[in-house]
Structure 1
Amino acid sequence: MIKKYLFKNTFLKRNLIKLYEYYRYITICLPRNLLFKVSAYCRMYGIRVGEYQKLKKLHNAYLGKSCFIIGTGPSLLNSDLEKIKGLLSFSVNSIVLSLDKTDWRPTFYGIQDSTAYNILREKIIENQFSGVFCGISTPSLTPKMQEGYIAYPLYLYDHDIQTDKHFTEFSSNAYKKVCDGYTITYSLMQIAYYMGFREIVLLGIDCDYVQGSRKNHIVEYTKTNNGNAVYLMRESYKVAREFADKHNLKIYNASRNPKLDVFEKIDLDQYLKCKNYSQEI
């Protein structure tokens, strides 16, 4: 009887859900965020810094250079990857399932979700990337660190609750914190800035998750279960755009079929032709 009443009374149901999410925010997010801030404060003053020393050594190591951040949207083509072979790049998650079809390899690889890591672990280890960035957040979300991985402190904000509004920042100091943006590409953008990159070209960032049978990744490996993911990612990318406009950071989107219109859209072939450069890893 109660369930039937709640099902019909959408106003009451919606407010009960909000009340529950507020409760979870107070009991889960607030304590976790406070602990993160204390840890970040200690780290900035030289206390308990060992975990992130590898990241700190990369500060401004690529000052003034350009890089690609490769997503795993279904519009990404292996031929696109061949075109940027030898150029500085980051990639993520299920890109490892496509590497048997191309000679291209990312300079850096990123992973911050334990579910994705558990599915892709063997392929990640098999490829022996020279640099693997691993987000450190909560015990349940953090992938298992392997020897040689580069840890970064991932600040989750309200990631554990369902929300219609997502607050985040774009961190200029990844050693202090990397702010969650509901996508690892957002984390890598902050890391790239910390490493000194001042021009970022996005590729394979379709930003168009759809529930159902349509592909959401170049190679499917898991289901997307957050129907609000696209909105939350777009809001984060808007924050990145605001930061970029104020800090001499250029971000372009060379993805083939992006729903993401936050960044200037460019053609990959024209960009490479115009640049006419070769960067050594």
Structure 2
Amino acid sequence: MAAALRKILTLASMLLPYGVHELRRRLSNRQKLPLNIARSLEANRQLAGLHAGQRCFILGNGPSVRDLDLSLLEGENVITVSNGYLHSDFDKFRSRYHCVPQITYGLMNSEDVIRWFEEMHSYLGAAELFLSSTESELIRNHNLFSGRTVRYLMLGKSFDDRSSDEIIDISQPIPGVESVPVMALMIAMYLGFKELILLGVDHDHFLSSSYQYAFDLKVQKGKDLTANADGTLQINRHDDFQSLARLWRQYRAISNIAKANDIRIFNSTPGGALDEFDRRPFQAWFEE
């Protein structure tokens, strides 16, 4: 059946316009994915443009957030990441979406991840969850996040291989990320947000030689491969700078996509090292 369909499309593509070529490409991509993942990605199509023209705050976990009055986010569209449900005043603003990138197993084993996801579920309220497709089997086998909307992204391609400035389609395989705010930015653009405001995206551990959070970790405490439990770094400068170079290239790619699609990204993090986006004080968003 599949072989016959491919033959028909091959013949038709010689006669009909671009639409057939596009159909062949999508069918080919779909055939390479496990059926459950292909269906999960397809479900993301309903999100395209859902928040057209609106603004959102992407809340990172850097220590600079301690200086912000997060209760001001109440009533705003907020995307949190990883352990972001531990922020002070989280119960007041309750994020609409929450993102977790592909998990690196090492100090974290499957049992740790299950405990972390159970903790996450208990704090997140009604937030919709975005996970890497690599965790789908674990979620299914252990019946995690019962009653919650869970969506999957297939992370793995490289930003360096992209030449297009089109908004990244999260219903297809997408670039992998060095840091979860990049994942949140891709999602936010696909959702149609036109103003994206970064908070707590510090990325300055290479200056301070310490990796800290805006809160005390719980289940994940001491599980970071690159830092000790007290935040002192374990990674050497060479490997750290290689990772930072990839991260900054990803932010540059995101910046170029935003400019090409009339999307404005602001960095309202107090301090921090990220210099790819225009700065605007956090308080200024609530003085209009």
TM-score (norm: length of structure 1) = 0.69
Correspondence for 1:223:
224
Correspondence for 1:27:
none
Correspondence for 1:154:
154
Task: Confirm whether residue 233 of structure 1 aligns to residue 247 of structure 2.
Answer: yes
The match for 1:92 among 52, 71, 81 is: 81
Which 5+ residue runs of structure 1 have no aligned equivalent? Answer: 1-36, 159-165, 275-281
SS of the equivalent of 1:72 reads: coil
SS of the equivalent of 1:167 reads: helix
**CA distance in 2: counterparts of 1:99 and 1:201, whole angstroms:** 19
The match for 2:127 among 117, 130, 140 is: 130
Correspondence for 1:202:
198
Task: Confirm whether residue 104 of structure 1 aligns to residue 97 of structure 2.
Answer: no
Query: How far apart are residue 168 of structure 1 and its match?
Result: 5.6
**CA distance in 2: counterparts of 1:177 and 1:96, whole angstroms:** 27
Correspondence for 1:19:
none
**CA distance in 2: counterparts of 1:196 and 1:121, whole angstroms:** 28
Seen in structure 2, the aligned counterparts of structure 1 residues 253 and 62 have a Cα distance that, compared at 3 Å, is: same
CA contact (8 A) 1:91 1:108 kept: yes
Instruction: Indicate the percent of aligned positions where both proteins have the same amino acid.
Output: 17
Correspondence for 2:30:
42
TM-score (norm: length of structure 2) = 0.67
The one-letter amino acid paired with 2:194 is: R
Deviation readout 1:142-167 (Å, 9 max, x if unpaired): 86364434323333236xxxxxxx72
Correspondence for 2:139:
144
- How many pairs align? 227
The one-letter amino acid paired with 1:271 is: W
Once structures 1 and 2 are overlaid, which stretch shifts more, 176-185 or 221-230? Answer: 221-230
CA contact (8 A) 2:70 2:89 kept: no
SS of the equivalent of 2:99 reads: strand
**CA distance in 1: counterparts of 2:53 and 2:31, whole angstroms:** 26
Once structures 1 and 2 are overlaid, which stretch shifts more, 114-123 or 86-95? Answer: 114-123
